[in-house]
Structure 1
Amino acid sequence: MAVMPTPDYVLRLREHIGHDPLVLIGVTAVILRETSDGTLVLVGRRADNGALAPITGIVDPGEQPAVAAAREALEEAGVQIEVERLAWVHQLPRRTHVNGDQVDYLDLTFRCRWMAGEPVPSDGELTEVLWRRVDDLDDLASDDLRERIRLAVTGTGEAAFQKS
């Protein structure tokens, strides 16, 4: 099983805090493409656990979140996108990685439109990239990922968020 690369700045922080919880800002790029068959969403099979998920990643220091979403789409799947709007802001449950590192991810889910490029696994984080109909996502890794896609597809234009 492949291990996802850890950014250098996170590794430097870990030298000081060990495995203690670290808050990171994550982005989910829900990349949509309109076809004669309906709306398609780009998903990829993760190299580390084999799960099917939309394009995700973390924001680099000083980087705008929407820019991070576009960067991740190009790095992971080789596609150019337009980030249209923020769809959902939510805190994910604390995750403990296999090496013991604890992370609290604040996820910013963006509705994105495919612009160019045929999707291919580009940087080793995904083993497969494919277009799926938005009503054919039962095998996604979690209900949370399905909810990210649902809110990006059907949202009203205002970002969803929890108030408590």
Structure 2
Amino acid sequence: MLLYMSNSRPSTRSTPLHSVSVAGAVVREDGRVLVIRRADNGTWEPPGGVLEVDESPEAGVAREVWEETGIRVEVEQLSGVYKNMKRGVVALVFRCSPAGGSETLSDESTAVEWLTADEVSQRMSEAYAVRVLDALREDGPHVRNHDGVRLVAA
């Protein structure tokens, strides 16, 4: 059970905990974006995972992309913040450029591919496709909420 602390006065209730994750929208010069098919549930997503306590968000996204895809990246900029309202997961998504390595499967990925924006929209649920599509735009960073599949109002 999650209990909330009131902003108006002190309370003995605790503040709910959130998990912070990072993901990389890795964009090649031809505009294609690096994605994985997750081993645990078969969904297509940008590579990423839980941010470790002792690492910066930029270091975390570089580590996660490398571990899941075999691609080294240069982290360019924050492109969006996305909150799963059902699970309390906050994801920081960074636009990145490839800086070496080659596509390699991992324990966490059953496929690693470079997709066009149209292919991203076709293969990914709205909650994950928007992360990639937002990174391709230049008007961010974006802040969005979702339920794990679809975007929801704030």
Give the AA of the match of 1:137.
V
Distance apart, 1:81 and its partner CA: 0.3
Distance apart, 1:134 and its partner CA: 1.9
Please say if 1:71 is aligned against 2:63.
Answer: yes
Please say if 1:46 is aligned against 2:29.
Answer: no
Q: State the distance in 1 between where 2:131 and 2:86 align.
A: 18
Distance apart, 1:138 and its partner CA: 3.0
Q: State the distance in 1 between where 2:113 and 2:124 align.
A: 15
User: Given that residues 45 and 53 in structure 1 are in contact (C-alpha distance below 8 angstroms), is that contact kept between their aligned partners in structure 2?
Assistant: yes
1:4 match: none
Distance apart, 1:94 and its partner CA: 2.0
Give the AA of the match of 2:141.
A
Q: How many residues align?
A: 131
| Seq. identity, % | 34
TM-score (norm 1): 0.74
Whose RCO is larger (CA < 8 A, sep 6+)? 1
User: Given that residues 52 and 139 in structure 1 are in contact (C-alpha distance below 8 angstroms), is that contact kept between their aligned partners in structure 2?
Assistant: no
2:112 match: 129
Instruction: Spell out structure 1 runs of 4+ moving beyond 4 A.
Output: none
User: Given that residues 23 and 65 in structure 2 are in contact (C-alpha distance below 8 angstroms), is that contact kept between their aligned partners in structure 1?
Assistant: no
TM-score (norm 2): 0.78
- Picking from 74, 78, 83, the partner of 2:75 is 83
Distance apart, 1:141 and its partner CA: 3.3
User: Given that residues 33 and 115 in structure 2 are in contact (C-alpha distance below 8 angstroms), is that contact kept between their aligned partners in structure 1?
Assistant: yes
Query: Does the residue aligned with 2:29 lie in a helix, a strand or coil?
Result: strand
C-alpha deviations, 1:102-148, integer Å up to 9, x for none? xx1111111011111111113x0001101111222233331011111
Please say if 1:110 is aligned against 2:105.
Answer: no
Which runs of 5 or more residues in structure 2 are unaligned?
Answer: 1-15, 145-153
2:141 match: 159
1:33 match: 28
Distance apart, 1:28 and its partner CA: 1.4
